[in-house]
Amino acid sequence: MTSPQDKDAERPGWRIGVLYSRSGVTGTTESQHFFGTVLAVEEINELGGVLGRPLAPVAYDPRSDAEEYRRLAARLLLDDEVSVIFGGCTSHCRKAMLPVVERSNSLLWYGSVYEGFEYSPNVIYTGAAPNQGSMQLAAYLIQNCGSRIFLVGADYIYPRETNRIMRETVEEHGGEILDETYLPLGCDDSEINDVVADIRRIQPDVVFSTLIGADAQRFYQRYHQVCQAEGPATAHIPIASLTMAESEVAEIGPQRCVGHITAATYFNTVDTPANAHFLQRWRARFGDHPASVYAETCYSQMHLFARALQRVGSMDTRKLVQAVHQVQFDAPDGLMSVLAENNHSVLTPRIGVCREDGRFDIVWESDEPVKPDPYLTAFGLDEFWLK
């Protein structure tokens, strides 16, 4: 019997699966994943592809639905005979795909910040692990905003686990979590209104939000509306996040996000030659629509994949993963590489404060790239305390 990998050698292009939602609650975020992927594929193919063969994406829209992710991943792997998928944003969608990917011994590239505490030999994790954003943000908030923190998140694994890490870290260093509340994905406006009212009543030093997508956008808009209505005498309580990037800010309205805080491995204000090249290509392709960490990560992981594929000339999962551990890419946010011991990426954590034009002033960044520690074996803030 001929395997999908053997059949691939007979085709003119390298077939890859692309699963990012263009609609649903995470449509704005996942469109960034999609655009970054498109930009990299076009760039690679313009340069002659890989070993003289173009990348040939097969793309579907899972509509922000975990069951659709599972179904479409199976369709790609079984019907479309693809063995490598680039896709997923939320953790429940990644976990929906994981059994399908592992059973077929295929490879998933996952480019989102996530809660950690996972390893699969069939997944390359290129988004930030908890020690590449969460821990640094906790230190920054305690040092610069205060230690009385209000937690609000979406009701699924990523927010709950991320908030658990935040709670344990803050309390370990003398801080206090004043409230912790969760809203269902696609929540009602009334539920958002209740949370905003609680924040104004409790008056924390800072809000840490793990709401996502359209729900987070509505939360920021309502929060701004309430603060404005209460007048300039009302103290501004910042919202901190790991996910509120430039693309989301553009949807909310930059004037509603001024002063809010995001921890990410990339902002489009990063000053590197690689980022200047990336943004030039981005603007030529997508105009004034802002690039964010989601686009940059997916752009970079595609280039890293192409380098691994160039090395082995095969879509065989085992060979590709081995090659991924041996290559690097000069990404817009810094040199990207993947550790063999956990399949997670070495990344540079940064913290930004949103300004009136919707971009971020980078107020802190790591002196060097940080090795991923998805299981937080070095748990604690001592090494993260910001200078």
pLDDT computed for residue 387 by the predictor: 52
Q: Rounded to the nearest 5°, which phi and psi values hold at 208?
A: -105, 115
pLDDT computed for residue 202 by the predictor: 94
Is the pLDDT at 10 greater than 90? The verdict is: no
Dist CA 309 CA 282 (whole Å): 24
pTM equals 0.93
Q: Indicate the average pLDDT of the chain.
A: 93
199 contacts 237 by C-beta, under 8 angstroms: yes
Q: What mean pLDDT is predicted for residues 47-63?
A: 98
pLDDT computed for residue 1 by the predictor: 39
Q: How confident is the model at residue 236 (pLDDT cuts 50, 70, 90)?
A: confident
The per-residue pLDDT for range 115-164, each reduced to its tens digit, is: 999 999 999 999 999 999 999 999 999 999 999 999 999 999 999 999 99
Domains along the chain with CATH numbers = 14-128+270-346 (3.40.50.2300), 132-269+349-365 (3.40.50.2300)
Dist CA 168 CA 170 (whole Å): 6
pLDDT computed for residue 383 by the predictor: 54
The per-residue pLDDT for range 217-235, each reduced to its tens digit, is: 999 999 999 988 876 544 6
